[in-house]
Amino acid sequence: MTRQHVGVLFGGILFMIVAMGISRFAFTPILPFMRIDEGLSFEQGGFLASSNYVGYFVGALGAGFIYRNKKNFLLLNVLLNVISIVIMGITHSYILWIILRFIAGITGGFIFVLTSSIVMDYLASHNLSRWSGLLFSGIGLGIALSGLLVPLIESFYSWEGSWIGLGILSALFLLSTLTMWRKIVIRDGEKVEKTKETKIFQGFMPWLIIAYGLEGLGYIITGTFLVDIIYNIESLRPFASFSWVIAGIAAAPAAPLWMAMISKMSTVKVLSIAYILQIIGILLPVFSQTAWGVLLSAFLFGFTFVGIVTLSTAYARQLFPKQSGAVVSVLTTAYALGQIVGPILASGAESIFNSFKAPLTLAGIVVILALATLLFGKTFSDRKQAVLISELQKE
């Protein structure tokens, strides 16, 4: 890879760190401190999370309609995202937090879809698609970074300092990418003429979208409340922040490792393995409240959710190579819709049963449904395709 290619990819990784690892997932390790210092309930924490995911839904949906000036529009959204992170640490207004998490969500949705589309298209145009998995390692790196920095900064400057410190770091990442991308010309997207072949909602794709949406609902319950759940088990409290670091460390190399597996097996088989491991990770704390149990749960969470994001996104682009922006947008929108519902259902389950086991059990069941949808959809669409081919041959 040339220096320019590395710059495009590395800049994309930094944007993933900002939008996903920091803007979205730093909320997970910061939430316990905010709940204690500000007296927030589990339900209020859930609404803050859902506000972010509603915004993410809007941004992911809107990103599918951006064809012109992708690069400048992306940079504007990163700037707004960084500002929203910093202001979180300046205000103590719950209403303003709701608004800021919503803004962070909208901009995060745009950043994820546009960065994925720009970088994957760039790599594909230079026959470097095999490196696209590295882009999503930014999610894991960001999680590990926030897991390490939040408790450190919080011990000196409380939770407010954590938001401000991470905001300053995000601003540095934005400036770094501006430098690396200054000479890069990003081609505008093209509106693909609608034909039978270019319709996204056909074949296996609708099943992949439904499974991915269910995955969004199931995984986000763990993603939002894992640290908070561990923190509230007194014997495991020292492992709370560390668990998030473990999740990030597992997530960082996950994307290229999962992508490497599809050279040995079909993408759906590899996805199935990722789903099964995630189900085990989600349900582990329900059956085992030991340090090893929760840390393994965190590891499996980080390792699998990034894998599922990477594999699903890459597979969708493979099915519709000329519509990368549209397919990534549709997938991410379904994922975001699941994420909106997840924290609200989790909060409801926790309040009804008064136990952290209830939301985790719910999450496990939902991801089992996602796996079932994926496998049934693949079998059904393959059989339908086989019948169609058979009928054409008879003609």
Indicate if the pLDDT at residue 55 is higher than 80: yes
- Cβ(147)–Cβ(226) under 8 Å? no
Predicted pLDDT of residue 370: 96
- For the chain, give the percent of residues with pLDDT over 90: 37
Name the pLDDT band for 46 (thresholds 50, 70, 90).
confident
* Mean pLDDT (whole number) for 224-250: 81
pLDDT band at residue 191, thresholds of 50, 70 and 90?
A: low
* 394/39: higher pLDDT: 39
Q: How confident is the model at residue 45 (pLDDT cuts 50, 70, 90)?
A: confident
Q: What is the pLDDT of residue 362?
A: 92
Quick one: pLDDT at residue 193? Answer: 54
Confidence band for 120, pLDDT divided at 50, 70 and 90: confident
- pLDDT tens for residues 324-350? 678 888 898 898 888 888 877 887 887
Tokens 């894991």 correspond to 140
Confidence of residue 18 (pLDDT cuts 50, 70, 90): very high
Each residue of 143-156: pLDDT tens digit?
A: 888 888 998 999 89
Using a pLDDT cut of 70, give the percent of the chain over it: 94
Helix or strand run (H / E) with residue 18: none
Residue type, 272: S
Contact between 223 and 338 (Cβ < 8 Å): no
Q: Which of 267, 272, 254 is nearest to 316 (CA)?
A: 267
Main-chain dihedrals φ then ψ at residue 183, nearest 5 degrees: -105, 5
371 vs 365: CA distance, rounded Å = 10
Q: Per-residue pLDDT for 194 more than 70?
A: no
Regarding predicted confidence, which is higher, 341 or 197?
Answer: 341
| Least confidently predicted of 79-88, 257-266, 322-331 | 322-331
Q: CA-CA distances (angstroms) from residue 200 to 58, 110, 324? A: 19, 20, 11
Cα–Cα distance for residue pair 72/137, rounded to 1 Å = 23
- Helix axis angle for 27-38 and 42-63, nearest 10°, is 140
Q: Quickly state the pLDDT bin for 188 (edges 50, 70, 90).
A: low
**Bigger pLDDT: 187 vs 215:** 215
Q: Find the DSSP H helices in the chain.
A: 3-16, 27-38, 42-63, 70-88, 94-125, 137-180, 205-231, 240-251, 254-261, 267-287, 291-319, 324-353, 357-394
* Greater pLDDT, 193 or 45: 45
Quick one: pLDDT band at residue 393, thresholds 50, 70, 90? low
d(CA 123, CA 13): 13
What would the pLDDT profile of 25-37 be if each residue is shown by its tens digit? 888 889 889 988 9
- Residue 326 CA neighbour count, 13 Å, CB half: 17
Mean pLDDT of 157-180: 95
If you average pLDDT over residues 198-221, what whole number do you get? 85
Q: Which residue has the higher pLDDT, 134 or 78?
A: 78
Q: Which of 68-77, 165-174, 299-308, 339-348 has the highest mean pLDDT?
A: 165-174
Query: Would you say residue 68 has pLDDT above 90?
Result: no
What's the average model confidence in pLDDT over 130-153?
86
d(CA 289, CA 46): 23
Q: What does the pLDDT read at residue 225?
A: 74
Q: Give pTM, 2 decimals.
A: 0.82
The whole-chain average pLDDT of the chain stands at: 86
Mind listing the domains of the chain with CATH numbers?
Answer: 3-394 (1.20.1250.20)
**pLDDT over threshold 90, residue 368:** yes
